[in-house]
Structure formats: structure tokens, C-alpha cells
Amino acid sequence: MKVVDIIRNSKGTEFSFEILPPLKGKGIKSIFEGIDPLMEFNPRFIDVTYHREEYVLRKRADGGFDKVSIRKRPGTVAICAAIMNKYKVEAVPHLICGGFTKEETENALIDLNFLGIQNVLLLRGDSIKSEPYFAPEPDGNRNSLDLIHQVVNLNNGIYLDEEPSGTNATDFCIGVAAYPEKHFEAPNMLSDLNFLKRKVESGANYIVTQMFFNNSKFLEFTDHCKKMGITIPIIPGIKPITKKNQLTVLPKIFHIDIPFELSDAIEKCTDDKAVRQVGIEWAIQQSKELKNAGVPVLHYYTMGLSEATKQIVTSVF
């Protein structure tokens, strides 16, 4: 079922979460171990992130260098198929522009369609570590708008190599990302919102937000969206802090603020267990408030570790 239909048919706030494919060498069991504990809470969909390969240059005996792929993770198409097959729950693959030509993207979409996967979250992706700025492939999509355009074309039966036929049209439901605290490359909030509006006008069906720790930022953001005529469902992303170093790592990677009240409480913790408890209590409070505010879905970033999310949803649902 499409995410938008799940939301349309729902009587209250639904539960969903995101998992991260494991590093190379691990099997599907490691994914199932992260999902199993959360199945009793009836997640309506499970997102599977995509991660670009990273490369290092290794010196050869002859003095030259080889480009070697590291931190490779299995592809999302196979993982989504395995999840849907085992749990009969919708799996939502994340598709990014970075590292893919349009043809490779089309091939992935053909596979997803063949497997009956109806939802996709379309993203630009970030630059790889060796690049100062995001650089698309020469024949690739430059940003999420391009990628939306490609999927909308397929939904209209327009493939890269053919005249429009309409006969083999796909029917993907399109999710996109948004940032209650602004995307780090956007010059200001208004231009970021204008760009989000273009994503919606181009065919996005629903929005999932970056994590945030201050609900008023999310609620202000949804107000702005409404005023600008963005009326598709907006799903908040929630992440519990579980380690003290996340106080600096999360703002650095995700360009988000952590409220003083939360950072102060975590700073005062004397062990990891106490940090986890503070982080989980904060996420429970956030989730309850957002549920009362009527959000369609509470979407949790598990990072492959389900225990903290389990504690939260036990209190919230």
C-alpha cells in the first residue's frame, strides 16, 4: 500500500521507522534482528537508507595507486524485498542522485516496480568525503527535483530509451525530505521552503523531516508549509540520543540544534545508561506532544538499533 493511502485510511498517528543496511559481510539476519523487536507495534512502513560507497587510494608495489571501495553496504532493493517478504509490511527504499546515472536509477526503479515496492523516498544525497561540494554523475540527476521528475516520468510510462507509451507506467508514491531547521546549503529558510514547494508541485506525495529535538521548530515549520500551500502529509523524524558524544556528532552531521535543557541534562549524566534514559525520556515527551498535535506518523531513526525505539513506542502507542 502507498504511504499516502496508509495515512488516508488511518484513524490516528501511525508508527514507522528507518533502518540502516549493515556494512559488507553481514547477512540479512542482522537486519531482521533490528526489526523483530519492533514488529509488535505494527509499523506501517520501514524505510531503508542508501549509502554511497566511500573510496580510499591504496599504494601499489609499483608506486601507483588503486581506488579501493570501503564501507560498502548491500543494496536497498534486495533488503526491501526481503523485508516485505518476511514481514508483509511496506518497505520504503531511499534513492539518491549521488553516484548514479539516470540509467542506473531507472534500472533500480524497474527492479522495485517488478518486486511490487510502491513507495520511494527521493533524495539528492551528500557529497562524498573527498568532494567539497555535491557533484552528480555526468549522466545523473543533480538534485531531488530531477529525481522526482524521473520517477514521475516512469509513472507516466516515459522511460529513458523510448517514446512515451503509457502502457508500462509505474505507480510509485513519492516521499521527499525536508528540514525544520533548514537544509545546510539553503541560503535561508524561505528559499528552502520555496524549493520544497517545487518538490511538491513536481510530484512529491509526502514529506519526511530531518530529526529535530525541539517540537516548536517542527510545528513552526508545518505552519509555514501550510501558509505556502504545502498540504501533503508531513511526517516528523525522531531520534533518541543514546550516547554523550551525539551532543556534538548530531549537530555536526545533521546541522540541527539540541536544546540546552536536553544537552545540560545529558552533560550531567555520569554513565551511558543514564544518558540513554535521558535521551529516551526526551523522545517520549516529544512523541507524545507530536501525537497530540495530530501528526500522521511518528517516524523513528533507529540507526539499526531497535532497543531505544522500543522503549519509546511502548510508552507512546
Name the segment binding ligand FAD (CB under 6 A); options: 49-57, 65-73, 84-92, 285-293: 49-57
Is 266 near ligand FAD (CB under 6 A)?
Answer: no
Catalytic residues: 18
Is 185 near ligand FAD (CB under 6 A)?
Answer: yes
Is 148 near ligand FAD (CB under 6 A)?
Answer: no
- How many CB atoms lie under 10 A from the CB of residue 220? 13
Is 202 near ligand FAD (CB under 6 A)?
Answer: no
Which residue carries 560498502 as its cell? 72
Chain-centroid distance, C-alpha 58 = 32
Contact yes or no for 66/78 (Cβ under 8 A): no
Name the segment binding ligand FAD (CB under 6 A); options: 5-13, 64-72, 121-129, 245-253: 121-129
Q: Which of 260, 299, 307, 301 is nearest to 44 (CA)?
A: 299
CA distance 21 to 185: 26
Question: How many Å from the N-terminal Cα to the C-terminal Cα in the chain?
Answer: 22
Q: Which of 299, 315, 309 is nearest to 236 (CA)?
A: 299
Taking the complex as a whole, the smallest distance from the CB of residue 63 to ligand FAD amounts, in Å, to 34
Is 143 near ligand FAD (CB under 6 A)?
Answer: yes
Which residue carries 559481510 as its cell? 25
Taking the complex as a whole, the smallest distance from the CB of residue 181 to ligand FAD amounts, in Å, to 11
Is 222 near ligand FAD (CB under 6 A)?
Answer: no
Is 239 near ligand FAD (CB under 6 A)?
Answer: no
Is 119 near ligand FAD (CB under 6 A)?
Answer: no
Interface residue with ligand FAD among 186, 232, 269, 274 (CB under 6 A) is 186
Q: Which of 18, 24, 9 is nearest to 305 (CA)?
A: 18
Chain-centroid distance, C-alpha 15 = 15
Taking the complex as a whole, the smallest distance from the CB of residue 314 to ligand FAD amounts, in Å, to 24
Name the segment binding ligand FAD (CB under 6 A); options: 35-43, 48-56, 77-85, 245-253: 48-56
Strand ranges (E), 179-313: 206-211, 234-238, 297-301
Taking the complex as a whole, the smallest distance from the CB of residue 98 to ligand FAD amounts, in Å, to 7
Name the segment binding ligand FAD (CB under 6 A); options: 34-42, 162-170, 181-189, 213-221: 181-189
Is 21 near ligand FAD (CB under 6 A)?
Answer: no
Residue 192 CA: distances (Å) to CA of 118, 125, 292: 27, 16, 27
Measured from the CB atom, the residue of 183 and 217 that comes closer to ligand FAD is 183
Is 126 near ligand FAD (CB under 6 A)?
Answer: yes
CA distance 1 to 7: 10
Contacts with ligand FAD by CB under 6 A lie at 49-51, 94, 96, 123-126, 143-144, 177, 183, 185-186, 192, 195, 208, 210, 237
